[in-house]
Structure 1
């Protein structure tokens, strides 16, 4: 995550915490005032308190800010097809897999075809048979 996305996400969490605290305080004040009113007038119906619009707007803005910060901080998606991803590795190397902080991604493994390129070739049985026959003719046998 870059510092911009981290700061937007942090600001969104701060707004969300403030909205939660405000909602809690509002409900505590409403329950305290409802208890006082019910003790004064036992015949009055209990009023249903709704959350003030400013707390609701703050909550929605906070959630949108958190979502925006998280989206801005996500790394670039990799191709789904192996051949496209491997081609990018071979063309760009480590430079193509740098994150926003300038570090190479932790799951960068280098050339994905190095196992295939380092394996031994096919065995030529006819060539080995010919070499063995020459070795036997030269007296290499027991």
Structure 2
């Protein structure tokens, strides 16, 4: 995460904390007000008030700012298709998989086709039989 995304996320969390505190204070004041009104006039029913619009807007904006900060700090997405990802590895190597701090990502494994490229080919038994027969014919006989 870069400092800009960390700052955005921290600012959004401060706003969200303030919105939660404001909502808590509003509910505490409403319950205190309802308790004092019920002692004055026990026959009247107290109306339940909803959260003020400014606290609701602050909560929504803070949540969006936190999401923006978290999304802007994520690493670049990898291609979905295996051949595209493997092609990027072959072209760019480790340089294509460095994060914002300059370190190679922990899930970088190198060329995914390395095992397929280094394995021995299929064995041609007939070719080996001919080579053996040629070797046997060319070998000096007798001791």
Task: Provide the TM-score with structure 1 as the length reference.
Answer: 0.88
Query: Which residue of structure 2 aligns with residue 8 of structure 1?
Result: 8
Query: Unaligned regions of 5+ residues in structure 2, if any?
Result: none
Query: Which residue of structure 1 aligns with residue 21 of structure 2?
Result: 21
Query: Which residue of structure 1 aligns with residue 36 of structure 2?
Result: 36
Query: Unaligned regions of 5+ residues in structure 1, if any?
Result: none
- Matched pairs, number: 140
Runs of 4+ off more than 6 Å: none
Query: In structure 2, how many angstroms separate the alpha carbons of the residues matched to 1:136 and 1:72?
Result: 71
Query: Which residue of structure 2 aligns with residue 97 of structure 1?
Result: 97
Pairing 1:49–2:64 present: no
Q: For residues 17-53 of structure 1, what are the alpha-carbon distances to aligned partners after superposition, in whole Å with 9 as ceiling and x for unaligned?
A: 2211111111011101110111011122202222122
The Cα shift of 1:103 comes to: 1.5
Q: CA RMSD in A?
A: 1.9
